[in-house]
Structure 1
Amino acid sequence: MLVFAAATIKELGSFIHGHLPLPKFDSGLVVTTYKNKEVAFLVTGIGPLNASHKLTACVTEYNVSGVVNIGIAGSFDLNSLGLGDICVAKREIWPEFGLVTDDGIQARGLGFAQAAINGEKIWDVIELSPELASKDLGVFLPMSWSRVISLTVAGVTGAQARARLLRQKYGAHIENMEGFALAYVCILRQIPFIEVRTISNLVGSRDKKDWNISLALKKLNSIWPTFF
């Protein structure tokens, strides 16, 4: 079963619109069949805690062949990744894990990694393999979709100074609130994972001219043919 996971009903609804009737997400999860494929649509709720909780429950109950995270995200530079652009995460970073010092957060400062897979420790970075995952799932990811470095945060960046700091330290292209958590659940279980997002805003700005959520949601709908 292929699972499409998004933080909100609005994001999943925009992805599904015109292709399937919008189901009732009473439990946050709907399982159905489309073109002889068993698929599921999962509303995780906003933030890394909700995301990991909901996806863990899903993969525990069902035989999940792959997970695709669909959603919107902020861009650190609208000149290179503009409003409405589609991107694929090639790396997920959790910048809030570790020891907080006067020089910032040090991921290895506590000395305890989050996990270890095949002897390799996971600290604050998960390297993703979208091309390999897409091959495993039998789908094609257009090269016109930028491959990006993504930051997952519990608190959205609303200040330009913090946005500059995060971009400089991590070389990030986008900011989201669920990607690392979903990737973490999948990597621990060796489940293929793809994260596809559309750009809704400039990270760090609250100026309306730097936001276009409706465009980002509309662009989510154009992702559907890639998977079906």
Structure 2
Amino acid sequence: MATAVPVERDAVAGAFPAAGRSLRLPGTTLERLSPASRDSTAARVTLDLLAAGVGPAPAAASTAGALTAAALDGAPYDLVVSTGIGGGFQPQAPVGSLVVADEITVADLGAETADGFLPVTELGFGTVSHRPPQSLVREVVSATGGRAGTVLTVSTVTGSAERAAELRARHPRALAEAMEGFGVAEAAAAHGVPVLEMRAVSNPVGPRDRAAWRIGEALAALTEAFGKLAPVLESWNPHDPDHQP
């Protein structure tokens, strides 16, 4: 599981028993958590937590390093989760709510033209979206009470109503924006590992009004969500045909 900063990492870790250990990797540290387990299958599940850095590039690099280390150790991951707090598009994703990505889309990778923004795919390069497994998204939504929709990845956080409106016009299913999901998803895709993104909404997308931010509430919502999510992560089987996207 990859967050941007340590305070988000700690909020996720708060949903699990305190027992665990730190694993040093080049440039970063993994926290290996101990999920609460009531059966022998869950007891074999390993949950690693990483504060991967702010923005898509650091998140991709740190996640790729963790994935590579696990693969070289002979214990590759079955799932990568990008998580933390983020901005919510109003009124669909109010402050304190939870958004589960059924599509992870980078919103500002491309080119500005006289006719508007062109995504990088229309320039003939790369990709702009990753889709988490549909069945997993449904299970996570059911367990947490979150809402499924597009989570946008941006390198520059939205700070105006005009920019928020532009993003919603280009991405009408967008519920939230954050800065790491697409980078984490790119690293996961390079290793052939499924990805999930989940965000607790700390502020409205739009003008930067610090008085409207509810970071503490969002972090608490993140802890609560992962407490409910643990059984889903423990039981999910990426090799089950019913769990394919």
TM bucket (normalised to shorter chain) is 0.7 to 0.9
Give the superposition deviation at 1:187.
2.3
RMSD of equivalent CA atoms: 2.2
Measure, in 1, the Cα distance between the counterparts of 2:60 and 2:132. 17
Measure, in 2, the Cα distance between the counterparts of 1:191 and 1:125. 15
Measure, in 1, the Cα distance between the counterparts of 2:133 and 2:50. 22
The residue that corresponds to 1:99 in the other structure is: 111
Gap regions ≥5 residues in structure 2: 38-42, 71-75, 232-245
Give the superposition deviation at 1:65.
1.3
Measure, in 2, the Cα distance between the counterparts of 1:111 and 1:208. 37
Paired residue total: 211
For the structure 1 residues 76 and 47, does the alpha-carbon distance in structure 2 shift closer, same or farther, using more than 3 Å as the test? same
User: Which sits farther off after the overlay, 37-46 or 104-113?
Assistant: 104-113
Give the superposition deviation at 1:18.
5.8
Give the superposition deviation at 1:128.
2.8
Give the superposition deviation at 1:72.
0.7
The residue that corresponds to 1:227 in the other structure is: 230
Q: 2:81 aligned with 1:68, yes or no? A: yes
Q: 2:135 aligned with 1:128, yes or no? A: no
Measure, in 1, the Cα distance between the counterparts of 2:99 and 2:122. 33
Measure, in 2, the Cα distance between the counterparts of 1:199 and 1:223. 12
Which structure carries more helix by proportion? 2
Measure, in 1, the Cα distance between the counterparts of 2:92 and 2:117. 27
Q: Residue 87 of structure 1 contacts residue 198 of structure 1 at CA under 8 Å; is this kept in 2?
A: yes
The residue that corresponds to 1:183 in the other structure is: 185
Give the superposition deviation at 1:161.
1.0
- SS of residue in 1 equivalent to 2:109: coil
For the structure 1 residues 86 and 201, does the alpha-carbon distance in structure 2 shift closer, same or farther, using more than 3 Å as the test? same
Q: Residue 133 of structure 1 contacts residue 193 of structure 1 at CA under 8 Å; is this kept in 2?
A: no
Deviations 1:150-191 (A, max 9, x none): 110111111111111111111122110001111122223221
Measure, in 2, the Cα distance between the counterparts of 1:53 and 1:68. 15
Give the superposition deviation at 1:210.
2.7
For the structure 1 residues 108 and 83, does the alpha-carbon distance in structure 2 shift closer, same or farther, using more than 3 Å as the test? closer
The residue that corresponds to 2:170 in the other structure is: 169
The residue that corresponds to 1:86 in the other structure is: 98
Q: How does the TM-score come out when normalised to structure 2?
A: 0.78
Gap regions ≥5 residues in structure 1: 115-121, 135-139
The residue that corresponds to 2:50 in the other structure is: 42
Runs of 4+ in 1 over 4 A off after TM superposition: 22-26
Q: Residue 11 of structure 1 contacts residue 217 of structure 1 at CA under 8 Å; is this kept in 2?
A: yes
- SS of residue in 1 equivalent to 2:54: coil
User: Which sits farther off after the overlay, 68-77 or 207-216?
Assistant: 207-216
Q: Residue 88 of structure 1 contacts residue 130 of structure 1 at CA under 8 Å; is this kept in 2?
A: no
Q: Residue 102 of structure 2 contacts residue 132 of structure 2 at CA under 8 Å; is this kept in 1?
A: yes
Deviations 1:101-154 (A, max 9, x none): 12222125763321xxxxxxx2x22233242478xxxxx313331001111011
For the structure 1 residues 104 and 8, does the alpha-carbon distance in structure 2 shift closer, same or farther, using more than 3 Å as the test? same
The residue that corresponds to 2:243 in the other structure is: none
Measure, in 2, the Cα distance between the counterparts of 1:161 and 1:133. 31
Instruction: Report the residue type matching 2:168 in the other structure.
Output: R
Q: Residue 6 of structure 2 contacts residue 51 of structure 2 at CA under 8 Å; is this kept in 1?
A: yes
Q: Residue 201 of structure 1 contacts residue 211 of structure 1 at CA under 8 Å; is this kept in 2?
A: yes
The residue that corresponds to 2:3 in the other structure is: 6
Instruction: Report the residue type matching 2:97 in the other structure.
Output: D
